[in-house]
Amino acid sequence: MFAWAIALGVGPLTSCAAEPNAVLDVRMHLPPVDGRPIAHVQVGTTDDRFDELWGVAPIVFDLDVPESCNVSFSVNAATPRADRASLEELRIKIWFCAREMPTCAEDSGAPVWRVTLERPLYPGERTEWVLGADACAPLTEGSRLREAVERDFSLTVDRCQIRGCVDGDAATGRDFCIDSDRARHPCDP
């Protein structure tokens, strides 16, 4: 399994050890799309528009590996507890590339998936989001996210689908908000 840590500059960075980082672990099993077995993954904030090139170097994953989770990385945001606005949204752009293309930016026909995560980071907490089943089962035509095998896929993930600050394994589709009105996540102070 490939694991990456991304230092994400969301809001002002701090070197104060008393202010712990917010960490989001992302796991996915992505199929090759249109026969393109390489995924270039970028992580951005609300300032990054999906239809523009981002100034962040992508992390590259080979989708032909036999791992159950062929894409796995962590987003580490050094953000003080007082700076909550910078943690409101993360964007993940996934470009599917052919092996012979050194960068997806050179391939104007590369399929792109766009994922928006609502409030996935909480200062001082570790959270997790898994695309598909918790076991990272491959996405297929019969899976819950059937539309995910399409070339151009967009997904908005509600903060209640972000696993965090809870014990035990997450059930697929479990709602992690505490209140019945979905106003509070278990990671909220």
**pLDDT tens, residue by residue, 152-176:** 788 888 888 888 876 545 444 567 8
pLDDT of residue 52: 81
pLDDT of residue 166: 60
pLDDT of residue 117: 93
- How far from chain centre, in Å, is Cα 12? 21
Q: Which residue has the tokens 């500059």?
A: 9
For the chain, list residues with pLDDT below 70.
Answer: 1-20, 79-87, 102, 105-106, 132-135, 137-150, 166-174
pLDDT of residue 134: 60
pLDDT of residue 137: 63
pLDDT of residue 174: 65
Q: What is the dihedral of CA 95, 96, 101, 107, to 10 degrees?
A: -60
Residue 30, CB-side half-sphere exposure with 13 Å CA sphere: 32
